[in-house]
């Protein structure tokens, strides 16, 4: 046991002698390495990556409702129905309120009655207009024939009547003179027979005068003779009546004998007969019947003119104008009815858009007038962010361009699109109004909210992207440079062509490839070809 222990101690001693010199020499390489590392420049790097980068416009504005309208009544009147309150959702064309409408309903009924009458008149005109014109022609022809017959009658009767009147007046005078002589000398049987014959003649003359008067009265009523001619016939009738009376009285005198007063009466009758004879001779001398003939001829001409007019209407088919006129009247009645119906419809105020009643200006029973609004309705199913864009940025915008909207009070980002770009600029500010439409089905976005709008102007989906801090500007060459670290940790200065910028990132168009290590910190003190120490955390 003791020998074994001695052997172990010897082995340990030999091992210690062999290890100790190596242990004493090991610190020197570590010191050299630390000193060498201390002279390398520390840098941070990031590898160039491929991805999407976009250039953006950042704008700010205010949220507005897509549609906001004031609802005005079209007619004035007291409100008798109010169907909505503030805050109610309404659909387009929904009834909101009604004004008094009794007079409007009566106006519709009146227009309906007028239209019915116009339609009836139009139907009758279509059926009867041509018949009526043809009847007018037939009637005009009949009037011409009647006028011609009347003229012939006047021509036939006028001169003969005048001559006859003279003969009758002469005969009556002679008879009265003879009777007067007989009365004075006393009656005989022969005188009685003559008196009876005279009475019979007076009866015949009276009957003829009555017949002549009746015929001339009819001609006068038809306009064929003048008033003067009718009065002459009436005078002749009066004479015949008087002569008949004288003849009757003569016969009575013969039967009873003459008295002084009877002789005086007979003398008066003789004087009256003389006056009648002079009147008849005067009418014959002045040819008064010629006036009757001229008048009758004028009646013929008038009737012929009426016939020409009626035939002209027939040739021109004037009934078509009547039909057109009746049709026009019917159309006017139809329009009047439509206007009355429209006014009645306007008595009910309808929603012009779908949305929410944001304001109600009158209560039930209030007086609505066309110049004052009744309601305000807003539609916020879709809203718009209204922003002002300076003229230099307008070239980067287009309708339907997509945008991202950040709204105060709403955590989620909203998507929208450019819906409107004003064609004119505000002169003083040199800005144009741009509207970005945003869907708002839940009504979360309220008009009046503040909005930050980001519009991507250009998008490159397959770009080489590095950190913007890597760029080193060269004021003399007016270029951009970066430092790239190779696999031996040696720096290389490279000029680069940059593209789009976005925040802390920049697009490299040339000079760097995907995956290369680009210095992001410490590059400003580097030199090309210098060894570096990467100290990325």
Q: What is the 3-state secondary structure (H, E, C) of 360-385?
A: ECCCCCCEECCCCCCEEEEEEEEEEE
- Residue 249 shares a structural domain with residue 121: yes
The per-residue pLDDT for range 368-392, each reduced to its tens digit, is 999 999 999 998 889 999 999 998 8
* Final residue before a domain boundary, out of 315, 344, 364: 315
| pLDDT grade for 68, boundaries at 50, 70 and 90 | confident
- Residue 60 shares a structural domain with residue 114: no
What is the average pLDDT value for the chain, to the nearest integer? 79
d(CA 209, CA 197): 18
In a domain, 258, yes or no: yes
Return the structure tokens found at 61.
């504005």
In a domain, 406, yes or no: yes
Q: What is the pLDDT of residue 1?
A: 42
In a domain, 351, yes or no: no
- Check pLDDT > 70 for residue 22: no
* Final residue before a domain boundary, out of 315, 348, 363: 315
pTM: 0.46
Q: What is the pLDDT of residue 416?
A: 92
In a domain, 438, yes or no: yes
Q: What is the pLDDT of residue 37?
A: 47
The per-residue pLDDT for range 145-154, each reduced to its tens digit, is 887 777 777 7
| pLDDT grade for 528, boundaries at 50, 70 and 90 | confident
* Final residue before a domain boundary, out of 271, 287, 315: 315
- Residue 303 shares a structural domain with residue 250: yes
Report how many domains make up the chain. 2
Q: What is the pLDDT of residue 112?
A: 92
The more confident residue out of 276 and 473 is 473
In a domain, 522, yes or no: yes
The answer to which of 34-38, 173-177, 181-185, 226-230 has the lowest mean pLDDT is 34-38
What average pLDDT does the segment 484-490 reach? 88
- Residue 188 shares a structural domain with residue 268: yes
The per-residue pLDDT for range 276-306, each reduced to its tens digit, is 767 766 666 656 666 777 777 788 788 788 7
- Check pLDDT > 70 for residue 445: yes
Using CA atoms of 342, 347, 349, 352 in order, give the dihedral in degrees to the nearest 10: 10
- Residue 161 shares a structural domain with residue 301: yes
- Residue 63 shares a structural domain with residue 205: no
What average pLDDT does the segment 84-111 reach? 91
Distances (CA, A) of 137 to 140, 301, 320: 5, 16, 16
Return the structure tokens found at 295.
């008048």
What average pLDDT does the segment 91-104 reach? 91
- Residue 118 shares a structural domain with residue 211: yes
In a domain, 33, yes or no: no
- Check pLDDT > 50 for residue 36: no
- Residue 500 shares a structural domain with residue 400: yes
- Check pLDDT > 90 for residue 418: yes
Query: Crossing angle, helix 289-315 and helix 102-185, to 10 degrees?
Result: 150
The per-residue pLDDT for range 42-61, each reduced to its tens digit, is 988 888 899 888 778 888 99
Q: DSSP secondary structure string, 91-153?
A: -TT-EEEEE--HHHHHHHHHHHHHHHHHHHHHHHHHHHHHHHHHHHHHHHHHHHHHHHHHHHH
Q: What is the pLDDT of residue 289?
A: 60
Give residue 134's Cα distance to chain centre.
43
- Residue 298 shares a structural domain with residue 444: no
The per-residue pLDDT for range 327-344, each reduced to its tens digit, is 899 899 999 999 999 999
Contacts 24+ apart (CB under 8 A), 311-317: 311/137, 311/140, 313/133, 313/136, 313/137, 314/133, 314/134, 314/136, 314/137, 317/130
Please give the order of strands across the beta sheet that includes 348-350.
348-350, 95-99, 77-82, 367-368
| pLDDT grade for 534, boundaries at 50, 70 and 90 | confident
Q: What is the pLDDT of residue 288?
A: 61
* CATH number reported for the structural domain that contains residue 147 in this entry: 1.10.287
The per-residue pLDDT for range 191-208, each reduced to its tens digit, is 667 777 777 887 888 788
In a domain, 77, yes or no: no
In a domain, 342, yes or no: no
The more confident residue out of 435 and 11 is 435
- Residue 412 shares a structural domain with residue 295: no
- Residue 138 shares a structural domain with residue 283: yes
What average pLDDT does the segment 235-243 reach? 79
- Residue 287 shares a structural domain with residue 405: no
* CATH number reported for the structural domain that contains residue 498 in this entry: 2.40.30.170
Q: Which domain holds residue 200?
A: 109-315
- Check pLDDT > 50 for residue 24: no
* % residues pLDDT > 70 (the chain): 78
């Amino acid at each position: 046991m003791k020998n074994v222990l001695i052997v172990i101690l010897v082995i340990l001693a030999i091992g210690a002698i062999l290890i100790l010199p190596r242990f004493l020499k090991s610190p020197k390489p570590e010191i050299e390495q630390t000193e060498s590392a201390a002279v390398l420049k520390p840098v941070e790097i990031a590898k160039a990556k491929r991805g999407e980068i976009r250039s953006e416009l950042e704008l700010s504005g205010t949220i507005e409702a897509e549609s906001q309208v004031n609802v005005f009544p079209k007619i004035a009147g007291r409100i008798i129905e109010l169907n909505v309150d503030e805050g109610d959702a309404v659909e387009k064309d929904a009834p909101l309120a009604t004004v008094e409408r009794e007079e409007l309903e009566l106006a519709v009924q009146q227009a309906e009655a007028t239209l019915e009458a116009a339609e009836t008149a139009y139907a009758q005109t279509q059926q009867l207009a041509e018949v009526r014109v043809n009847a007018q022609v037939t009637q005009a022809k009949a009037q011409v024939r009647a006028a011609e017959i009347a003229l012939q009658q006047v021509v036939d009767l006028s001169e003969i009547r005048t001559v006859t009147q003279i003969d009758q007046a002469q005969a009556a005078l002679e008879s009265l003179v003879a009777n007067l002589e007989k009365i004075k000398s006393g009656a005989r049987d022969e005188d009685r027979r003559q008196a009876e014959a005279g009475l019979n003649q007076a009866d015949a003359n009276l009957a003829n005068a009555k017949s002549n008067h009746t015929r001339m009265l009819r001609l006068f009523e038809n306009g064929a003779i003048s008033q003067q001619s009718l009065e002459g016939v009436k005078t002749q009738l009066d004479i015949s009546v008087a002569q008949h009376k004288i003849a009757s009285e003569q016969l009575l005198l013969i039967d009873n004998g003459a008295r002084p007063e009877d002789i005086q009466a007979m003398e008066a009758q003789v004087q009256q007969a003389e006056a009648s004879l002079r009147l008849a001779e005067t009418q014959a001398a002045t040819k008064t019947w010629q006036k009757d003939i001229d008048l009758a001829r004028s009646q013929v001409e008038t009737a012929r003119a009426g016939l020409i007019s009626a035939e002209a209407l027939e040739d021109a088919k004037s009934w078509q104008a009547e039909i057109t006129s009746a049709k026009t009247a019917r159309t006017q009645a139809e329009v009047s009815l439509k206007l009355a119906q429209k006014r009645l419809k306007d008595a009910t105020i309808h929603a012009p858009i779908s949305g929410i009643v944001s304001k109600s200006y009158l209560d039930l029973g209030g007086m609505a007038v066309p110049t004052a609004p009744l309601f305000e309705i807003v539609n916020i199913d879709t809203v718009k962010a209204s922003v002002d864009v300076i003229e230099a940025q307008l070239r980067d915008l287009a309708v339907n361009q997509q945008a991202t909207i950040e709204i105060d009070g709403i955590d989620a980002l909203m998507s929208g699109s450019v819906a409107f770009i004003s064609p004119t600029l505000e002169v003083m500010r040199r800005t144009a109004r741009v509207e970005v439409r945003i869907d708002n089905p839940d009504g979360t976005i309220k008009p009046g909210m503040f909005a930050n709008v980001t519009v991507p102007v250009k998008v490159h989906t397959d770009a080489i992207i590095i950190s913007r801090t890597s760029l080193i500007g060269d004021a003399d060459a007016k270029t951009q440079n970066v430092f790239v670290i190779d696999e031996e940790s040696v720096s290389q200065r490279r000029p680069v062509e940059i593209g789009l910028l976005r925040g802390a990132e920049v697009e490299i168009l040339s000079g760097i490839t995907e995956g290369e290590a680009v210095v992001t910190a410490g590059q400003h003190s580097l030199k090309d070809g210098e060894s570096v120490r990467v100290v990325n955390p």
